[in-house]
Amino acid sequence: MILMWSSGCVGRELVEYMGPQPHAGIHRYVLALFKQEGAVMGQTRLPDGRGNFSTRQFAAQNGLGLPVAALYFNSQKEPAARKR
């Protein structure tokens, strides 16, 4: 998560990107892009974890409005190679 990203190359990283980590089965992932209208005042409320994270609630708490773009994909763990 990056805040105050000006000119497309400078910003302050608050949370490092974590790629998909499914343990079993197929998992759905959604990446949402929000346009930040101005500086965030006060303390940004960071998520405690990624399970059951509410994007809608996070956006409301941090004044982000609606997403301007989104990406959706499914991911599943590669099956282990069979032992001979």
Q: What is the CATH number of domain 22-84?
A: 3.90.280.10
**pLDDT at residue 67, rounded to an integer:** 93
Residue of 72 and 76 predicted with greater confidence: 72
Query: Is the sign of the CA dihedral 3, 37, 72, 60 positive or negative?
Result: positive
Q: Dump strand ranges (E) for 7-84.
A: 10-13, 26-34, 67-76
CA pair distance 26, 84, nearest whole angstrom: 27
50-66 pLDDT, tens digit per residue, is: 777 788 888 888 888 89
17-45 pLDDT, tens digit per residue, is: 777 776 788 888 888 988 877 766 666 66
Write down the H helix ranges in the chain: 55-61
Count of other CB atoms within 10 angstroms of residue 39: 7
Res 69 pLDDT > 90: yes
**pLDDT at residue 72, rounded to an integer:** 94
